[in-house]
Structure 1
Amino acid sequence: MENMKGIRFIEIGANLTDPVFRGIYRGVQAHSDDFTQMLQRAKNAGIEKIMVTAGSANEARKALELVKNYDDLYMTVGCHPTRCKDFETDPGGPDEYYQKLLNIATNSEFQDKVVAIGECGLDYDRLYFCPKETQLKYFERQFDLAEKTGLPMFLHNRNTGNDFMNLIQKHRHRFENGVMHSVTCAMEEMERAVSLGLYLGINGCSLKTQENLEVMKKVPIDKIMLETDAPWCDIRPTHASYKYLNLPEEKKLLYQSPTRKKEKFELGLMVKGRNEPCCIGQVLYVLASIRDMKPEELAEVIYENTRKVFKL
């Protein structure tokens, strides 16, 4: 994705295997496939590379089928905490499931496409999907993946007390780099993450509340990465961040493209309520505003942070 607009981005977290980018919502085709147009909007916005997140072996296979067809799409391989039951329900058992993840991560034909292990971690907000004990067991198992592949980790942490950070500290010697994605933590947890050498992936959900904004002001600039977590985590008028979203006129079409409801879909326009990678510029401008920085300067530091860690 050639940068045409000055500011350049690497999007570290987009769920591009989600059927909504093919016009399918809850199993129903609501509008035509606009995947190509979505990627074009990303390119126009200055996104040079996109990391497609995968949260299960099945999703990783789908991601691989996708990214191998695009020069500027890359992917993660891992098991999301809410899907860690997959280790135990796999017909071959936990060891076979682990091997599936490892095989995708080390596929010699497409090895340059896999740039991180994850999305993995802990999520205590959604224990109804997977109990704590199962999450803990198989999060630890994924440090084996990181150690064997030498890849950085793409990490998930939701309302876990000290459990997540304690496991990171326990296994920190086993992986070189990691990013805590879609970060929404309090100040103390952010500071502990930074002290452990983690990077922080910031998106619209990271900027919802005034408390979030105060934390994001304090993240060291050399530990920031940007993402959208599309199709989720958009910036909304009800969020504390919205008043800081002061886009120059020439950037509005790039980062805040006109939308239509999916029922009134119009090819070439964004779908209302479906976040896209091109909206990463909104995150940048809010972050620059609250930190009193020039967006161009902040973006370039973040770009280099990301390129260095994921070797992109």
Structure 2
Amino acid sequence: MILIDSHCHLDKINYKKIKKNIYQILKEAKKKNIKYILNVSTSINNFDKMKILLKNKKNIFYACGIHPFYYKKNIIIEEIKKRLKEKKVIAVGEIGLDYSKQNKINKERQKKMFLDQIKISKEFKKPIIVHTRNSIKDTIKILEISEISNYGGIIHSFNQTNLKNLKKIIDLNFYISISGIITFKNASELRNIIKYIPLNKLLIETDSPYLSPEPYRGKENRPSNLYYIAKCVAKLKKIKLDEISEIMKENFKKLFNLKKKSIT
């Protein structure tokens, strides 16, 4: 059985707090059958730091993009393009919209940067990793007008409970990535909507170090916890764990247009 963490931030884990290093974290993940990881950046500086930390470790892929918290005026699009040329950078992300109170970037600036990065993804023919918080209507609208469906992408850490929005996302050729939220006691509505997500559009993620699943909620998240998310999703879809892991492996390969030898 092979599990793939489709979204995490290994460089943001507080290694001092958990008293472990990156090698131990990856070893833990391997013991739980997490063989491949997509490490996602939130800024150019963050991308460069994570590449230094990971030192081209095997079985780790990368996404380069600017998170909506960092949509500042001095962003140089060419710097994103330069990094997308690297061999193991398979996606543009994490990009999108965040209308929460924590984000001080105004909505119009967010929309512009989201569109600008979608243009880059189309130029490089790479999928996008989408962050959307309190902004699903504008997110869908931008995805529709940008005509990104040829390359698609992922709505990461999916937490929508509106069936119409789910259908629109799937019609746009996007995959749905489920995080540890699905295991939370107060997530019954989200668990209910899982049955409407086609198996061929399903992925899972940890979003480490955030959103630890039960039974580790409130603690620093790590890729090894993907196992508990996979078990929960398999149960909800009424399918064996090894079967759903195989389906999601093929989904990952198809979305990112990976050769057979890249993931085995």
Structure 2 length normalisation: TM-score? 0.90
Q: 1:231 to 1:19 in 2, by over 3 A?
A: closer
Cα distance in 1 for residues equivalent to 2:219 and 2:183: 17
| Unaligned residue ranges in structure 2 (runs of 5+) | none
Whether 1:134 aligns to 2:134 is: no
> What is aligned with 2:223?
277
Q: 1:173 to 1:276 in 2, by over 3 A?
A: closer
Report the 3-state secondary structure (helix = DSSP H, G, I; strand = E; otherwise coil) of the residue aligned with 1:50: strand
* Deviation at residue 127 of structure 1 after TM alignment: 5.4
Q: Which amino acid in structure 1 is aligned with residue 109 of structure 2?
A: T
Report the 3-state secondary structure (helix = DSSP H, G, I; strand = E; otherwise coil) of the residue aligned with 1:201: strand
Q: 1:206 to 1:170 in 2, by over 3 A?
A: farther
Is the contact made by 1:120 and 1:155 (CA closer than 8 Å) also made in structure 2? yes
Q: Which amino acid in structure 1 is aligned with residue 201 of structure 2?
A: K
Question: Which range is displaced more, 227-236 or 58-67?
Answer: 58-67
Whether 1:154 aligns to 2:129 is: yes
Whether 1:78 aligns to 2:68 is: no
* Deviation at residue 217 of structure 1 after TM alignment: 1.9
> What is aligned with 2:2?
8
2:199 to 221, 231, 242: 221
Q: How does 1:147-296 map to 2 (within 5 A)?
A: 147-173=122-148, 175-186=150-161, 187-208=163-184, 209-236=187-214, 273-296=219-242
Cα distance in 1 for residues equivalent to 2:104 and 2:181: 21
Is the contact made by 2:118 and 2:148 (CA closer than 8 Å) also made in structure 1? no
* Deviation at residue 167 of structure 1 after TM alignment: 0.5
Is the contact made by 2:153 and 2:175 (CA closer than 8 Å) also made in structure 1? yes
Cα distance in 2 for residues equivalent to 1:103 and 1:174: 24
Cα distance in 2 for residues equivalent to 1:124 and 1:55: 16
The structure having more radius of gyration, on CA atoms, is: 1
* Deviation at residue 162 of structure 1 after TM alignment: 1.4
* Deviation at residue 212 of structure 1 after TM alignment: 0.5
Cα distance in 2 for residues equivalent to 1:305 and 1:47: 16
Cα distance in 1 for residues equivalent to 2:11 and 2:127: 21
Whether 1:105 aligns to 2:81 is: no
Report the 3-state secondary structure (helix = DSSP H, G, I; strand = E; otherwise coil) of the residue aligned with 1:191: helix
Q: 1:175 to 1:131 in 2, by over 3 A?
A: farther
Q: Which amino acid in structure 1 is aligned with residue 68 of structure 2?
A: P
Q: Which amino acid in structure 1 is aligned with residue 171 of structure 2?
A: S
**Percentage identity across paired residues of the two chains:** 25
| Unaligned residue ranges in structure 1 (runs of 5+) | 1-6, 24-29, 238-255, 257-270
RCO comparison, higher one (Cα < 8 Å, 6+) = 2
Report the 3-state secondary structure (helix = DSSP H, G, I; strand = E; otherwise coil) of the residue aligned with 1:112: coil
Question: Which range is displaced more, 115-124 or 207-216?
Answer: 207-216
* Deviation at residue 290 of structure 1 after TM alignment: 1.5
Would you say how many aligned residue pairs link Structure 1 and Structure 2?
Answer: 255
1:37 to 17, 21, 24: 24
* Deviation at residue 226 of structure 1 after TM alignment: 1.1
Cα distance in 2 for residues equivalent to 1:173 and 1:150: 10
Report the 3-state secondary structure (helix = DSSP H, G, I; strand = E; otherwise coil) of the residue aligned with 1:290: helix
Cα distance in 2 for residues equivalent to 1:180 and 1:32: 32
Cα distance in 2 for residues equivalent to 1:126 and 1:135: 14
* Deviation at residue 126 of structure 1 after TM alignment: 3.9
Q: CA RMSD in A?
A: 2.0
Whether 1:123 aligns to 2:98 is: yes
Is the contact made by 2:8 and 2:40 (CA closer than 8 Å) also made in structure 1? yes
Structure 1 length normalisation: TM-score? 0.77
Cα distance in 1 for residues equivalent to 2:27 and 2:166: 34
Cα deviations by residue, 1:60-83 (Å, 9 ceiling, x for unpaired): 111222344301111110001121
